[in-house]
């Protein structure tokens, strides 16, 4: 069967779908996930650097040991029971989003990374990208060729990274089609 | 049919079955969709896994948003039956679905909407549900009204319902819109008609079910949503 056509979320995505705490992956049902708690923040900008408000960002990542909480991961039985790996944030008036999460371990054959999705009014199909913590040899990062640096979060201290997402224009974030 | 397995294959989509990223007459689209070509990526474990229990992080909201008693929304009562399948046609159970829509007059409860039509104090217009083992979710609501787009050049959105779905892997995440059959505005909607393939467009339009005994006070519409992913069992020698 042919997968259903995507569409923009439009300008009226209900604010109550950005639940309090849905951008904090470090706690699940009141229990603390294992590993190094970090903060990833950034701004989402359109052409000419205009910040976008009320844009939805979602992330998906492995736990502190690089294990996905999903049966397709051969190691999933050992996944941290207190880490769901998914979060959602909405951008503020400055285009800023923030996630509190656990620094993921490196999954087998990969560098540590966090998957991002961007949904917004006028974004007709979900935009997918991936943030890395450092440069190196990774099958996905390598695909970005001379734009690799745009996929690497900027370290702002021990526990804090910045990852800006530019939807179009100068220093446009590389997005993936998969 | 057997419930959907965890997909091991997510094939590239036929671009003709998907909307254009830049749409003429939709002024935001050229500002916020990438100018660079997307980078083709073979799915890795990272994209072939995904959140299965996002519903634990969030609050579910019931599937009856039309209200009862003195708190009934104004509009044509409808009953939606939506089935969620994977590319093999297998039902996707346990999938979280978020829906939102305008009220019967075409107005959203959202600070972004303007005063073109009245709000309905008894209608918020959103539900968050999980599909049953048959991939089904049902919703009692009112039919959304059409509304003018602020471009003010004659573009009206036809009645439609928004859906956001979480499948079994990251790549099966979907945001889509469902339309209603027989609506004259369908033929000129810039979003619906940006999908080049006619069959793919038709599959975005719900099916009207002629009235039967139940439910006695609501019109029934059925719809099907296909998420990306296939179990693609390899042929045995």
pLDDT in tens, A65-80: 999 999 999 999 999 9
* B179 lies in some domain: yes
Q: What is the pLDDT of residues B162-196, one digit of tens each?
A: 999 999 999 999 999 999 999 999 999 999 999 99
> For residue A45, what is the domain's CATH number?
2.60.130.10
Q: Is residue B191 part of a domain?
A: yes
CA dist B141 and A62 (Å) reads 38
Whole-angstrom distance, CA of residue A111 vs CA of residue A36? 16
* Residue B18 maps to a domain: no
Say if A141 falls within a structural domain: yes
Handedness of CA A68, A73, A74, A77 (dihedral sign): positive
Quote the percentage of chain A above a pLDDT of 70: 100
Residue at B102 is within a domain: yes
- Give me the CATH number covering residue B172: 2.60.130.10
B128 at interface of A, judged by CB pairs closer than 8 A: yes
Q: Is the pLDDT of residue B236 over 80?
A: no
pLDDT of residue B1: 73
B4 found inside a domain: no
Mean pLDDT, rounded, of chain A: 97
Residue B161 lies in a domain: yes
* Gap between the Cα atoms of B93 and B89, Å rounded: 12
Q: What is the SS3 assignment for B184?
A: helix
Report how many domains make up chain A.
Answer: 1
What are B9-39's pLDDT values in tens digits? 999 999 999 999 999 999 999 999 999 999 9
Q: What share of chain B is helix, strand, coil (3-state, %, to 5)?
A: 10, 25, 60
Q: Give, as one character, the DSSP assignment of residue B32.
A: H
**Interface predicted TM-score (ipTM) over 0.95:** yes
**What pLDDT is recorded for position B235?**
52
Which residues of chain B are within 8 Å of residue A1 when distances are taken between CB atoms?
85-89, 226
Question: Is 80 exceeded by the pLDDT of residue B115?
Answer: yes
CA distances from residue B46 to A85, A100, B148 in whole angstroms, order as listed = 11, 20, 41
**Residue B42, in any domain of the structure:** yes
Between CA A112 and CA A114 the distance in angstroms is 7
pLDDT of residue B29: 98
Catalytic residues of B: 108, 147, 157, 160, 162
Contact A2 B43 (CB under 8 A): no
- Cβ of A172 within 8 Å of Cβ of B36? The answer is yes
Q: Which residues are within 8 A (CB) of B229 and not within 5 positions of it... i.e. 6 or more apart?
A: B4, B7, B9, B10, B86, B87, B167, B168, B169, B171, B172
Asked whether residue A9 is domain-assigned, the answer is: no
Mutant choice from B57, B146, B161, B199 vs A, greatest count of A C-beta within 10 A? B57
Q: Do the domain assignments include residue B8? A: no
Domain annotation covers residue A4: no
CB neighbour list of residue A101: distance below 8 Å, 6 or more residues apart: A24, A25, A26, A37, A38, A39, A40, A59, A61, A87, A114
Question: What SS3 state is found at B166?
Answer: strand
A40 occurs within a structural domain: yes
Q: How confident is the model at residue B231 (pLDDT cuts 50, 70, 90)?
A: confident
Residue showing tokens 């919703």: B139
Phi and psi (nearest 5°) for B182? Answer: 75, 10
CB contacts of A121 in chain B (<8 Å) are: 28
Q: Collapsing DSSP states into helix, strand and coil, what is residue B192? A: helix
Q: Is residue B237 scored above 50 in pLDDT?
A: no
Look at residue B28 in the predicted model and tell me its pLDDT.
Answer: 97
Which chain B positions have a beta carbon within 8 Å of A105's beta carbon? none
Going by C-beta distance under 8 Å and a sequence separation of 6 or more, which residues neighbour residue A105? A35, A62, A63, A64, A65, A66, A67, A112
CB–CB of A69/A77 below 8 Å?
A: no
Domain that holds residue B168: 25-226
- The whole-chain average pLDDT of chain B stands at 94
Of the listed ranges B10-14, B40-44, B91-95, B228-232, the least confidently predicted one is B228-232
Count of domains for chain B? 1
In a domain, A176, yes or no: no
B14 touching A (Cβ < 8 Å): yes
Assigned domain for A5 exists:
no
Expressed as residue numbers, the domain containing A154 is 15-166
**Distances in whole angstroms, Cα of residue B204 to Cα of each of A3, A102, B129:** 11, 39, 20
Residue A2: inside a domain, yes or no? no
Which are the contacts of B132, defined by CB distance < 8 A and separation ≥ 6?
Answer: B93
Tokens of B52: 């299965």
């Amino acid at each position: 069967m042919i997968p259903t056509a995507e569409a923009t979320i439009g300008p009226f995505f209900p604010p109550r779908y950005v639940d309090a705490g849905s951008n904090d992956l470090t706690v699940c049902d009141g229990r603390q996930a294992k590993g190094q708690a970090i903060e990833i923040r950034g701004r989402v900008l359109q052409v000419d650097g205009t910040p976008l408000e009320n844009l939805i960002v979602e992330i998906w990542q492995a736990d502190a040991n690089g294990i996905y909480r999903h049966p397709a991961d051969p190691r999933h039985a050992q996944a941290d029971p207190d880490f769901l790996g998914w979060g959602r944030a909405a951008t503020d008036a400055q285009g800023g989003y923030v996630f509190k999460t656990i620094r993921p371990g490196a999954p087998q054959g990969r560098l540590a990374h966090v998957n991002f999705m961007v949904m917004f009014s006028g974004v007709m199909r979900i935009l997918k990208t991936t943030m890395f913590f450092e440069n190196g040899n990774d099958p996905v990062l390598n695909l970005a060729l001379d734009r690799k640096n745009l996929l690497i979060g900027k370290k702002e201290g021990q526990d804090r990274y910045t990852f800006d997402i530019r939807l179009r224009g100068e220093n446009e974030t590389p997005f993936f089609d998969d | 049919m057997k419930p959907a397995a965890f997909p091991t294959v997510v094939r590239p989509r036929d671009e003709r079955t998907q909307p254009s990223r830049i749409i003429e007459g939709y002024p935001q689209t050229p500002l916020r969709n990438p100018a660079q070509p997307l980078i083709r990526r073979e799915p890795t474990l990272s994209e072939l896994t995904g959140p299965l229990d996002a519903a634990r992080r969030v609050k579910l909201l019931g599937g009856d948003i039309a209200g009862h008693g003195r708190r009934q929304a104004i509009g044509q009562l409808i009953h939606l039956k939506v089935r969620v399948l994977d590319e093999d046609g297998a039902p996707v159970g346990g999938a979280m679905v978020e829906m939102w829509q305008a009220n019967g007059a075409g107005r959203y409860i959202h600070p972004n909407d303007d005063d073109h039509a009245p709000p309905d104090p008894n209608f918020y217009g959103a539900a968050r549900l999980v599909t049953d083992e048959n991939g089904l979710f049902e919703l009692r609501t009112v039919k959304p009204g059409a509304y003018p787009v602020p471009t003010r050049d004659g573009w009206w959105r036809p009645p439609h319902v928004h859906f956001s779905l979480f499948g079994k892997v990251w790549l099966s995440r979907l945001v889509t819109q469902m339309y209603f059959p027989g609506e004259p505005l369908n033929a000129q909607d810039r979003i619906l008609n940006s999908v080049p393939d006619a069959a793919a467009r038709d599959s975005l339009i719900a099916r009207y079910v002629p009235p039967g005994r139940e439910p006695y006070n609501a019109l029934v519409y059925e719809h099907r949503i296909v998420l990306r992913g296939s179990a693609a069992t390899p042929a045995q020698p």
